[in-house]
Amino acid sequence: MVLEARDNAVDLDSGLKEYTVVLKRYLIALVNTAYYVYFHLPDAQHQLKQSTLKETRNEKFNHISQLYERLDNANCGELSRTELKTLVSGLFVRGIWQCSNGVSDEVTKILQSEQQKNKEENDDKRAQAKRFVLEKLTIQLRNCILGFVQIYHFIRKLPVQQQYQISKLQSQILEHELNTDLLQPWARQVGALHSSVSTALKADTQFREKLEQYRTLHPDLVESPIFRACLYSEVQT
């Protein structure tokens, strides 16, 4: 087979660059969700959990943050396929999988607690809305990690050595599979996860108090930037 020039893979490489952008956004959403379930939302067992927060932070929260920094420091927009495969390794994927499952388990516990409250107390629209958001979070966490793993397996199959350059037709097929079948659906799920965790935080009494305090200290910031800045400050604490 006559191999085409490397320029035939430009669209595919553009898709891989977009993947790194969405991956960083996914890690941010996962960190924000971890913050919601581990470090902010109070519940009946809040005091009992205090002794395990440090361990939780080390095992999950900080791990996700470190993975994000690792990706960010790699100048992801300029990564070659070889560099991307090295960075998004099997170990990297297993770490994200474990983090996602741990966070998802905690969201499920919160949801079950809310469902129990519904049986014991009079339900209202606020409680219903909270359960709805928690249900969406569990679904979106699962969809996001599955999409992440699917794209990981796709990337692992891509040739990296120059002698294995792919033809224009092959590149077009792969580009369509990555962008249309894998990346676009995953990006939508990541966006939905961002939206759901933002809704959950804005409905949380303690976080709203922190947001008001932050707004008082930064009166020049408008609503959307001040929410992101406040959340970033809390996550980094």
Let me know whether 35 and 123 are in one domain.
yes
- Is 212 found in the same domain as 101? no
Same domain, 174 and 234: no
Q: Are 64 and 148 in contact (CB under 8 A)?
A: no
Q: Is pLDDT above 70 for 147?
A: yes
Q: Does 60 share its domain with 169?
A: yes
Mean pLDDT (whole number) for 86-98: 86
Find out whether 93 and 24 touch, Cβ atoms under 8 Å: no
Lowest mean pLDDT among 8-12, 16-20, 111-115, 200-204: 8-12
pLDDT of amino acid 41: 56
The answer to whether 192 and 138 have CB atoms below 8 angstroms apart is no
Burial (Cβ within 10 Å: 0-12, 13-18, ≥19) of residue 44: exposed
Say if residue 17 is in the same domain as residue 42.
yes
pLDDT at 181 over 90: yes
Query: Are residue 218 and residue 198 in the same domain, yes or no?
Result: no
Q: Could you give the angle at the alpha carbon of 39 between the alpha carbons of 34 and 42, nearest 5°?
A: 115
Q: Kindly state whether residue 23 falls inside one of the protein's structural domains.
A: yes
Whether residue 211 is contained in a domain is answered as yes
Q: Is residue 198 part of a domain?
A: yes
User: Among 11, 26, 221, which Cα is nearest to 140's?
Assistant: 26
Q: How far apart are CA 210 and CA 69, in angstroms?
A: 25
More confident residue, 39 or 139: 139
Residue 128 shares a structural domain with residue 213? no
> In this structure, are 195 and 145 located in the same domain?
yes
Same domain, 111 and 19: yes
Give the separation between CA 144 and CA 98, rounded to whole angstroms.
13
pTM of the model: 0.82
Higher per-residue pLDDT: 201 or 44: 201
Tell whether 1 is covered by a domain.
no
Rg (CA), the chain: 21
Residue 1 pLDDT grade (very low, low, confident, very high; cuts 50, 70, 90): very low
**Pair 147, 224 in one domain:** no
Query: 67: buried, middle or exposed (CB in 10 Å: 19+, 13-18, 0-12)?
Result: buried
Please report which confidence band the pLDDT of residue 152 belongs to, taking 50, 70 and 90 as the band edges: very high
The whole-number average pLDDT for the span 23-35 is 87
What number of residues does the chain have?
A: 237
Residue 31's pLDDT is what? 85
Residue 93 and residue 148 in contact, taking contact as beta carbons nearer than 8 Å? yes
Contacts of 19 (CB under 8 A, 6+ apart): 151, 155, 178, 183
Question: 90 or 9: whose pLDDT is higher?
Answer: 90
Q: Do residues 21 and 82 share a domain?
A: yes
Choose the weakest-confidence range: 31-35, 151-155, 162-166, 196-200: 162-166
More confident site: 31 or 120 = 31
Residues 140 and 235 in one domain: no
224: domain range? Answer: 204-237
Of residues 204, 218, 217, the one with CA closest to residue 35: 204
- Domain membership flag for residue 38: yes
User: How far is Cα 237 from Cα 218, in angstroms, rounded to an integer?
Assistant: 18
If one counts the domains in the chain, the total is 2
